[in-house]
Chains A and B, each alone.
Chain A
Amino acid sequence: MKTVSIALVLVAACGGSGGLSCPNDLPQGCPSPAPSYRTQVAAVIANRCVSCHGPGGQEAALPFTSYQQVFNSRSVILNQVYHCVMPPAGNPAPDSQQRALLLGWLVCGAPDN
């Protein structure tokens, strides 16, 4: 336990890549099989993004309620989710499984699958 604590302190002190709060977990390639937009990713986006990026939300001008809307913003979504800029502080972040699904799908090129 003591060893683990010391290691964590050292990683924090050295500014470990990506920090402790935002993981450096970008898939190195498209996972196989690629996450499915329709059966997996759409639900993550609906659950974590659409309250703002949807009707009545503060980012309603940039809605993510259809595949095409999400696809058009895929690069920005990848950047901002991967760097933990989105969802903004104070909003629930995707859990590790949701994050892996979303990042994996985006690294695959955001297919309509």
Chain B
Amino acid sequence: MVMRRVAALPALVVAVAWACSSGDQRGPAGGPVSGQLDKHCTLPDGGMQVQPTDPAACQIGGTGTAQYGPTLYNAEADDDDCKYHVKFTASPVYGNTDVSFILTATRKADGAPATGANLDAEVFLDSTHPAPNSNQHTTESPPGTYKIGPVRFDRAGQWTVRFHLYEQCLDSVPDSPHGHVAFFVDVP
């Protein structure tokens, strides 16, 4: 009996090793949700609405809570106030896994990188369930490109990720650098 158990041990080890190395067992990753293209900055005549920003209009003093636009589909859009154009990618999105986002932001007025934007991500499933605190931090490299994370989605569903740029600036004047845009992210 003992000999049989000993003989079975290598097979068990091999089976466990195979199970652990045979690809991702979690199924397809989630990510940005495909849908209607964002056109909220497109004017009826086909032109583009552009809100220039002025660093001098940044009044420090709060986090600048603001009126937000709707949450958008896909992974590229203009921000709610047509100040910036943003694109993002995400590391594979699974529940209860650290996810990071890489976001590139350019000013719509001149196409220049939005540098030093102090990027922040507000992440929530619905109005009663934000993502857990996860020591989120941001790095910028190259200028105007930000990596932010970790973000932890602790439930499956269609989450909202709202990126905030220059949130330290009050949103009290139109040309404040403060910007924000939200996207749907699917979590399997």
Contacts and interface: CB of A to CB of B under 8 A. Distances in A.
B133 A22 contact: yes
Interface in B30-70: 61-63, 65-66, 68
B135 interface: yes
A99 interface: no
A18 B135 contact: yes
Interface string B117-128: 000101110111
Given A17-B132, A19-B133, A86-B63, A61 B127 contact: no
B133 A78 contact: no
Q: Helix, strand, loop or mixed for chain A's interface?
A: loop
A74 interface: yes
Given A17-B133, A23-B133, A26-B132, A75 B62 contact: no
Interface string B3-23: 000000000000000000000
Nearest to B61: A58
Q: Is the interface of B mostly helix, strand, loop or mixed?
A: loop
B97 interface: no
Interface stretch (A2-10, A40-48, A101-109): A101-109
B172 interface: yes
B170 interface: yes
B130 interface: yes
B128 A109 contact: yes
Interface in A1-53: 15-19, 22-24, 26, 52
B124 A79 contact: yes
Task: Report the contact-size class of chain A (Cβ under 8 Å from the partner).
Answer: 20 to 34
Contact of B132 (A18, A73, A106): A18
A59 B124 contact: no
A74 B132 contact: no
Contacts of B25: none
List the 9 shortest-distance A-B pairs measured between CB atoms, nearest first. A18-B133, A75-B127, A15-B135, A79-B130, A24-B133, A107-B128, A19-B135, A58-B61, A62-B65
Given A79-B122, A79-B124, 8 more contacts: A17-B135, A58-B61, A59-B65, A73-B65, A75-B126, A78-B128, A88-B62, A107-B129
Interface of B: 61-63, 65-66, 68, 120, 122-124, 126-130, 132-135, 152, 170, 172
Interface of A: 15-19, 22-24, 26, 52, 58-59, 61-62, 73-76, 78-80, 82-86, 88, 106-110
